Every structure is written in C-alpha cells, then in structure tokens.
Structure 1
C-alpha cells in the first residue's frame, strides 16, 4: 500500500448526509449559484454554538517524540463532567459580527422573531453546515479561545464576547465571499460533505 502512495490517516468527521438531502443540497446550490456578491453581502448568517470551559469536544493533535507521551505539554487533561459550557447565539454578515448572546436552544425564539419582524429567511436544508459561513466564524472563535484558560463559566463568557468582537470584517467578508467555492465543492461531491 505504501508503495502505491497510500498512508494511514485519521478519517475526517463530517455530518452524515442522506441521499435525499444530497439532492436537495445540489438543487439549492443550482438555485443560488448566480446570485451576485451584493446578495450574499446582504445576508445575516445566524447560528448557535457551544463552548466548553475545559477542553474541546474533539481530538487534539500534539507534536512530540516517541518517548514524550506522558510529558505535561503532550497531555490533554480532562475533568469530570467537562467543567461546564456556555451555549451562545449570534449572527454575522460580510460587514462583521453581531453581539454574542448567551442562550440555549434559540432556534424557535429566533424563528418567531423573524416572522414577527417580517424578515425574509433563506430556505435552509438539513445537514448543510458547510454552506453556512458562520460555522467557520465559530471555528475562528474556538482557535482564539485556545490562548486563554478561563477558570469558570463567567470568565469563559467574558472572554468569548471579547474574542468574538475581535473577529474583524476581513474575516467575515472572506467567509461570505467563499460561497461560490462552497457551491463548487457541493457539486463536485454530488451533494455530499465538503472540505468546508
């Protein structure tokens, strides 16, 4: 296998996309493919995300030598019950981020607010986080949070707000302007998972 150019890799974690949703994703992309940049710049992207007080939900890679597995800087410490977390909701546009809100299960409340305020929404398909630029804004916030070691949920919340506000227009604009590349990926993978 090695001679043929194959190596072992950790499989990427991506949401399972049912065949019916693959078709819907490709249809959605076709319907929105030719929308101008101004259209995407006018979209307010919203979502909720969870941030843990202690450690991330995922696997952590460390660079070390063979005999360094138990060195303190090569370990991923854990605590019982994860130490707590903060659930947040926010929005962003190409022009920047909104004001982070601490919340749980905001989807219904937000949907009702959109209806009450007569705000048009994009029809969104299940299993399509790769088409929502705010997902990568959350990733950026997660990276920024690694510079900090909050001691409690209140401190975590304060740092989250500060770091979220630090995500500049250059980042949000780049994320929103990636829609055409996201569309290309969806079509290339026949509606399946993309690198986004």
Structure 2
C-alpha cells in the first residue's frame, strides 16, 4: 500500500467535508480503506500526521558497542571484518553495522596521512630547533627572509596516486573508469631547487644520484651566481650536503648554512609545498617522456606566484610553534 504524502492527507480531510469516501479515494487515487483510516484518526486525535517511530531495535547492547569502540581505538588500522572477529558479539551482525556503531561513536573511516617515521632522538632535535628558531628567540619574518630554502625532489612520469571517479554500478572494470599504471612510474627525473622570499628561485635537473661533487656542481651553477651576501642556505642532512668536501666548498664560497636542521622534517621545509604544486601543474600537461616532464616542471616552477612563496615564509613562525605544541611530532603542515 503506497504511503500518502502529508500534504495529500490534509487535502483528503478537507475534501471529505463535501465528498463521500469513494469519491475522495478516486480523486486522489488511493484505497477507500486508507481514506477511512485517515478520517478515523482525524476524528480521534485531530491530526493526520504519522507519529515518530522507535525504529528497528538494535541487535547489540550498549555494553557490546563500548567493547567494539575500545577494540577499534586499540587497533585503529583494523578493518571492520577484523574488528568483528575480535569483537565476537552474541548476535551475528554485518560489517556495515560495525561501521555504523563506530561512526555513531565518532570513529569514522578515513585515509591515514603518510608521515616520515621519527625516533626519540629526532623528536628532541626537532624540538630543540623549533625552540632556537621561534619568535621568542627573535626569528621574525624579517630574519626568515634571509634564509634560502632548498631541496631535491624526484618526479615520476606517471604518478600513481589515488584518483576518484564517478561511475555507474557494475562498471568498475570498464576501461573508461580505470586508472592506468606503468611499472616504476614510467621513469622519473631528479631536480634540485631553491626559493627565496620575494619570488627569487631557481631549479635544475640532476642526472643520476647526487654525491658530494655533483651537489657542489649544482650549487656552483644554479645557486652561487644568484647568491646575495647575508643570505643563509637551508639544506637537509643528506650525506652529500654535510660531507667534509661540501663543507669546505661552502666555506670557500663564503656561503653561510642554517645549522642543526633536524632530520625527517619536511613539514618545516616550505619548499615541499612548492614541489607539490609544481608536480600537480606538470602532470596536468600529460608529458609523454622525461624531457617533456622536465620542461613541464620547469615551466610550472617559475609560474608559481611570488605571493604563494611569501605566504609560506610567513607561516614559518607558526610551524615552529606547531612543532613545539606537538612535542616534536608531526604537524598539519
């Protein structure tokens, strides 16, 4: 028996004042029995709307639900099926109910963030660096502006990150909705670059692995010609950056380096955001080979607005505070 819309119920009651039950049923294409029930309910209660229902009773008890929540908190990466096996309620339920119970208790399924592993020694170094370079220690925006942030980055020709698509049911294997993958990403290129407050920047392609001699060549051709007196070079603790020969090279060239940069700290190096934006724009051009990928990366790198880089510099004080608040652990940056 089809359900009658509330507005239609009100019209039926009004029409019953002048029409018979059969006539009203024909007019609104409902059964006479439904019209009679509406009239009886209206005469008894003065209302024709449905009352709130309790719904289907829960299969599990509140105690069982709390047990499931505890198990999920103890093992946040477990699937619904794995949690059900460990939970073992007296009444069998589906994994969908497991997900619903967890969702009602604030535990929603989400894609976990990928962050580098940090040990205790690295946590202490991150805290020490953030304290030494906080706003309280005089590291204002004006002082950060003297730091040139640099890093290497590798870019695959065909990235394999997850993509969402809208497709009809049962069409998962339709080629139109498949994300094509290539072994080893179809090849990749290595680049080195640096950024400076105000928009000054440079990028170069590096062939092969970067050792100390190759890193010094990169600095000699892509950084030193634009280096200004008083600027400080930020670099991570890679062996090619901290080797004895590189240290002597930088000293000979009178380039000051930002000391004690902590390992596993991409959230503190603002050039990482530049790499991310550059890759997104380069992949949009759909390069067919590594040379086209390099040209796309170079174009995208220099097309990034100066204001975008300046805002990254302005966030450095907040980044140091975030590291301190997280006691050296991961931050949202």
**Fold-level match, TM-score > 0.5?**
yes
Q: How many residues align?
A: 194
What is the match of residue 193 of structure 2?
90
Which sections of structure 1, spanning at least 5 residues, go unmatched?
none
1:107–1:132 distance in 2 versus 1, CA, 3 Å: farther
What is the match of residue 257 of structure 2?
121
Q: Does 1:184 align with 2:317?
A: no
Residues 47-56 or 107-116, more deviating: 107-116
C-alpha contact 1:97 1:165 (8 A) present in aligned 2: no
Pairing partner for 2:166 from 49, 64, 75 = 64
1:40–1:72 distance in 2 versus 1, CA, 3 Å: farther
1:146–1:23 distance in 2 versus 1, CA, 3 Å: same
Shift of 1:72: 4.2
Q: Does 1:22 align with 2:127?
A: no
Q: Does 1:54 align with 2:158?
A: yes
C-alpha contact 1:97 1:164 (8 A) present in aligned 2: no
Greater fraction helix:
2
Greater RCO, 1 or 2 (C-alpha within 8 Å, sep 6+): 1
Q: Distance in 2 between matches of 1:107 and 1:129?
A: 21
Shift of 1:47: 0.3
Q: Does 1:8 align with 2:144?
A: no
Q: Distance in 1 between matches of 2:146 and 2:182?
A: 43
Q: Deviations over 1:25-77 (max 9, x none)?
A: 11111111021111111111000000111124xx3131425624334454221
3-state SS of 1:157 partner: helix
3-state SS of 1:47 partner: strand
C-alpha RMSD of the superposition: 1.8
3-state SS of 2:147 partner: coil
3-state SS of 1:2 partner: helix
1:105–1:116 distance in 2 versus 1, CA, 3 Å: farther
C-alpha contact 1:45 1:93 (8 A) present in aligned 2: yes
3-state SS of 1:141 partner: helix
Q: Does 1:41 align with 2:180?
A: no
Shift of 1:95: 1.5
Shift of 1:97: 4.6
Q: Distance in 1 between matches of 2:300 and 2:309?
A: 14
Shift of 1:189: 1.3
Q: Does 1:158 align with 2:261?
A: no
